[in-house]
Amino acid sequence: MNLPPFNVFFKTVPSPLPQRYDRRPHSEQTKFQGRGSQTPNGDTVEFSAATPIPPGESHQQHLERLQRHAQTAARLAPNYSGRHYAALVKLADGTEGMSANVEASRQLTLCDLRLAIGAAQNQWIQKQSQQQQTPSPLPPVKTIYLVSANLKDDHPIPCADCQEWLASPICPPDASVISLEKNTAGKPPLMRQRSVREMLPLYKGRAITSKTQHPLAELPVTFSTLATTRPTEQYPPLTKQAARELMDQAQTAYLANRSLARDSKVPTGVAMLLYPSGRLITGARVDWSTRWHVPADLATVAAGLTQRNPQTPADEDAANTKPEKIQAVAYYGDDTQLPPITSLGRIARNRGSAETRILTIEDDTIQVRTIKDFLPELYRDGKNKAE
């Protein structure tokens, strides 16, 4: 059945959602029905469809199977973070891949979504290798299912690293992302469906560089709605002149990096504005090899956060000096995916926020947005729900 866009569909279905991690066999576990009570006929699940539901898809069946996988992983493979998620990915030809998040070390972890995408693609490759006919092109991702092992506390929202994959060509803009999420107190779980385009409106189909052939002083400056909200103590107003000056610093860093890093394919310059001192920190991309590099913005943020605030009294212990807040970051360079999604997630968690201003050049216009403009799903309530 195809539902009209932005419609709400209510369906009575079984919803086995254990309230806590239970080490007993599934057959002996208590069934958590969203409100903490057991009902023989299941519970009412709210389905908020932002896009029409594909015919023949058994979303509830997939989510229930995925929920059991996440709970099993929580019992048998505890993570450092204590959080357990699972993802099921279906390619356009029906090939599936399923995985839970894996945290084998504190430094390097693997999210469930990226593992599931890799599992689905490798499953398809294995099927192709067993056929005698000429292999067909790798099918794109069609549907993504996301759950957490404990819906009472966690939202299965893709992190910034995973959304970097969603922005890649392997996930077309019309691919569906369906998740089962916690609801307000006393209400059953909420099943949400949205497209990748809705999750990343500024990335899907967007392949432009943040450069210009015109003098920066002549470029117009445009602010998004979120970037023009009432200034706060943490984020004072950013004037058009200040935006041009910030972009000028980013351009200078880019030109210096381009002359030094001749082998870099996507040289980028970044300027960061700190508040309340108003200090400007600039930096560029650092290449370790053709595969590994430090993005220009993270190198700049690291430099800015490790420097002492010049307004701090000289006799104050440097160890007690708190780094300043990141008010704005300007990007200038050849990379067609500026700003990097993964960098935005890290900046927002470390001395920035969803309201941090992000400056880019598009169509000879300096665009001033916020991190929330770029990642509306991750920060839809104004703060980060996914670590």
Residues 192 and 298 in one domain: no
Last residue of a domain, one of 199, 234, 262: 199
Q: What integer best gives the mean pLDDT of the chain?
A: 77
- Residue tagged 């309340």 (tokens): 276
- Residue tagged 């969203």 (tokens): 34
pTM: 0.77
210 to 202, 258, 337: CA distances (angstroms): 13, 14, 9
**Omega prior to 54 cis, within 30 of 0:** no
Domain assignment of residue 74, yes or no:
yes
The mean per-residue pLDDT over the stretch 110-114 comes to 93
CATH number of 274's domain? 3.40.140.10
Nearest to 350 by CA among 387, 375, 318: 387
Q: Is the pLDDT of residue 122 over 50?
A: yes
Residues 185 and 252 in one domain: no
- Cα(109)–Cα(101) distance, rounded to whole angstroms? 8
Q: Is residue 92 within 8 Å of residue 139, measured between CB atoms?
A: yes
Q: Is the pLDDT of residue 264 over 70?
A: no
- Cα(348)–Cα(242) distance, rounded to whole angstroms? 21
pLDDT tier at 265, thresholds 50, 70, 90: low
Residues 143 and 71 in one domain: yes
Number of domains in the chain: 2
What pLDDT sits at residue 361? 95
The mean per-residue pLDDT over the stretch 222-240 comes to 80
For 211, half-sphere exposure in the C-beta direction (CA atoms, 13 angstrom radius) is 17
Q: Is residue 180 within 8 Å of residue 63, measured between CB atoms?
A: yes
240: CB partners within 8 A, 6+ apart? 221
Domain assignment of residue 380, yes or no:
no
State in Å, rounded, how far the first CA of the chain is from the last one.
35
Identity of the amino acid at 101: N
Tokens of 61: 């069946």
Residues 156 and 38 in one domain: yes
Residues 225 and 149 in one domain: no
pLDDT tier at 114, thresholds 50, 70, 90: very high
Residues 84 and 45 in one domain: yes
Q: Is residue 305 within 8 Å of residue 350, measured between CB atoms?
A: yes
The mean per-residue pLDDT over the stretch 285-305 comes to 78
Please give, one letter per residue, the 3-state secondary structure of 299-357: HHHHHHHHCCCCCCCCCCCHHHCCCCEEEEEEEEECCCCCCCHHHHHHHHHCCCCCCCE
Domain assignment of residue 316, yes or no:
no
Nearest to 146 by CA among 164, 127, 163: 163
What pLDDT sits at residue 86? 94
Q: Report the DSSP pairing between strands 280-284 and 268-275.
A: antiparallel
- Residue tagged 């973070």 (tokens): 81
Range of the domain at 42: 7-199
Q: Is residue 150 within 8 Å of residue 365, measured between CB atoms?
A: no
- Cα(65)–Cα(95) distance, rounded to whole angstroms? 16
What pLDDT sits at residue 11? 33
Domain assignment of residue 206, yes or no:
no
Residues 65 and 131 in one domain: yes
Q: Is the pLDDT of residue 311 over 70?
A: no
Residues 116 and 245 in one domain: no
Domain assignment of residue 379, yes or no:
no
- Cα(383)–Cα(385) distance, rounded to whole angstroms? 6
Residues 220 and 357 in one domain: yes
Residues 270 and 164 in one domain: no
Residues 48 and 111 in one domain: yes
pLDDT tier at 59, thresholds 50, 70, 90: confident
Q: Is residue 87 within 8 Å of residue 163, measured between CB atoms?
A: no
Residues 233 and 361 in one domain: yes
Last residue of a domain, one of 199, 233, 262: 199
Q: Is the pLDDT of residue 204 over 70?
A: yes
> What b-and-e string marks burial along 185-202, b requiring 16 or more CB atoms within 10 Å of the CB?
eeebbbbbbbbbbbbbbb
- Cα(357)–Cα(43) distance, rounded to whole angstroms? 43
